[in-house]
Amino acid sequence: MGDKERGVSDAFEAFGSEAPGQAQAWMTMVRGLAAASSLDKKTEGLAYLAVLAALRLESGVPFHVQGAREAGATREEVIGAILVGLPAAGHGVTACLPAALRAYDAE
């Protein structure tokens, strides 16, 4: 499956193609942090979605929903992860919900 089919944002694709050295350094750091995490992949994916929603970073949601789904997250768990930040971050987290559901429901 290509990056577009996995929901990689235009911004991240441009980062990778236009600044490959920085993108490679970034991905090395990301992989290192993932390897150091004591969370299982599903929990980490759901937690990451909660952070994206709290920061209103909608463009990253489709890619990370697919990762959480592949790790075993249910549609209801994805919804819960997006909305868990409501008390702390406010109603803005709901802006990520449509993108999350479209990504989860995509074949």
Report mean pLDDT in 10-residue bins for the chain, 107 residues: 66 94 96 95 97 96 96 98 97 96 92
- Tell me if the pTM is above 0.75: yes
Confidence (pLDDT) at 25:
97
Q: Which fold has domain 10-105?
A: AhpD-like (1.20.1290)
Domain boundaries, the chain: 10-105
Give the per-residue pLDDT at 2.
44
Q: Are 101 and 79 in contact (CB under 8 A)?
A: yes
